Structure 1
Amino acid sequence: MADPHIQSSMDWCDYFTVIIYRCGFVLAAIMTALLPYFPEIAYLGLLCAALCCASSLHIYLKNIRFLLQFATWTALLCHLVGMPQLAIGGALLTLGGLSFKEYFCFRIFGLNLQPLFLALLWLAEVLNYSLLLNGLSVISALLFALLAIQKWRMPLHFDIGDKTKYQI
């Protein structure tokens, strides 16, 4: 997580992972908005968004980092064995957890509730409740878009923070 006042040296891998992480939120915004209209495309896109974010996490605490990455790996395994509802649940768990983490950096109104919105979105998708799905997809997509805009407005080193604080 960012320590904006600290600028650790960054190599190409740091730049690459920060860009991948931020692209994950852009993809999440687009795919969440498309979920009610193109569920198959949005489903795969949300898996990719979670994979982008989980593969490039810069979180100091290894337990939190592991939990969010494990949710994405579980989502991918569920996708491979033909359990799409569990797969999308795992992807949304990762994206919701990261949204909650990012709330503490940006204080975007409602972003701390994104995990709840995404849980309800998943439930609406599983139960095929289109009215709730439409409303929650708009709210979640807007929050992801606001988060992505805020992330891209700041320097890349803000995502890295102090490299000496990472638990290996």
Structure 2
Amino acid sequence: MANPEHKEQLDGLDKISVVSYRLGITLFALSLLSLFSAELLCVLEVKFAPFLREWSLNLIAVSAALSAANIHVYDKKIRSIITWSSWIGLTLFIVIPTKEWLYLGFMFITFSGIALKESYCFKVKGLNLIPLLLILSVLVLWMKEPTILAPLAGLSGLIYALLAIEKWKMPLHFDIGKKANYQI
């Protein structure tokens, strides 16, 4: 965990990395809230629900790439698990786009890891529940139950939105921590 009293000197690439990471978290929150809306509209049999759902899934993929490419975790093994989960998910997203539960499952590993990482720094209510909510979402996606997926996605999106708000409030150097502590 980063020491907030330590102020690392950030270069341009560091700043872009932190902003991209935070943007990924923000887009993930928005994509889950969009998926919540899409699933509700699907239950109500609204005509454009499939379009909104597809848009939400594409946005999850973009947010996974942004977050995985720019996560700041000292331990290289943990960092590898978190990032490679998204890269595998993104590959599956391209290769077998009909298996939503499969590629989202890998991407959700990344966002579960991010939630657990950020729970050490923030006391956002429900942040520790994110892994469970996302695991249940994958199961429900596999079962094709939009009535159950809607509240899971909505609650996860709300928690992640609260996290995103807290992340944007803090200085950029908090995300980097002490550069010397990173395992390469």
1:39 corresponds in structure 2 to 53
Q: Distance in 1 between matches of 2:92 and 2:23?
A: 23
What is the count of residue pairs matched by the alignment? 168
1:21 corresponds in structure 2 to 21
- Which residue of 71, 85, 100 corresponds with 2:101? 85
Name the stretch that deviates more: 122-131 or 7-16. Answer: 122-131
Shift in Å at residue 81 of structure 1?
A: 1.3
Q: What is the identity, as a one-letter code, of the residue corresponding to 1:18?
A: V
Shift in Å at residue 85 of structure 1?
A: 2.6
Q: Which runs of 4+ in 1 moved over 2 A?
A: none
Unaligned runs of at least 5 residues, structure 2: 39-51
Per-residue CA deviations over 1:83-125 (Å, capped at 9, x if unaligned) read 4331111111101110111011002111011011111112112
Q: What is the identity, as a one-letter code, of the residue corresponding to 1:69?
A: T
Q: SS of 1:106's equivalent?
A: coil
- Which residue of 78, 85, 95 corresponds with 1:71? 85
Q: What is the identity, as a one-letter code, of the residue corresponding to 2:92?
A: C
Per-residue CA deviations over 1:27-46 (Å, capped at 9, x if unaligned) read 00110011140221111111
Q: What is the identity, as a one-letter code, of the residue corresponding to 2:20?
A: I
Contact 1:7–1:161 (CA under 8 A) maintained in structure 2: yes
1:30 corresponds in structure 2 to 30
Give the percent of matched residue pairs that are identical in Structure 1 and Structure 2.
38
Cα RMSD, aligned residues only? 1.1
Q: Distance in 2 between matches of 1:157 and 1:40?
A: 35
Q: What is the identity, as a one-letter code, of the residue corresponding to 2:115?
A: S
Per-residue CA deviations over 1:18-68 (Å, capped at 9, x if unaligned) read 000000111001100111402211111111111111100110000010001
Contact 2:101–2:139 (CA under 8 A) maintained in structure 1: no
1:130 corresponds in structure 2 to 146
Q: Distance in 1 between matches of 2:84 and 2:119?
A: 21
Unaligned runs of at least 5 residues, structure 1: none
After superposition, residues 1-168 of structure 1 pair within 5 angstroms as 1-36=1-36, 37=38, 38-82=52-96, 83-168=99-184
Q: Distance in 2 between matches of 1:151 and 1:58?
A: 13
Q: Distance in 1 between matches of 2:69 and 2:159?
A: 21
Q: What is the identity, as a one-letter code, of the residue corresponding to 1:4?
A: P
Q: Distance in 1 between matches of 2:89 and 2:122?
A: 27
In the superposition, the TM-score normalised over structure 2's length comes to 0.88
Shift in Å at residue 75 of structure 1?
A: 0.5
Contact 1:46–1:92 (CA under 8 A) maintained in structure 2: no
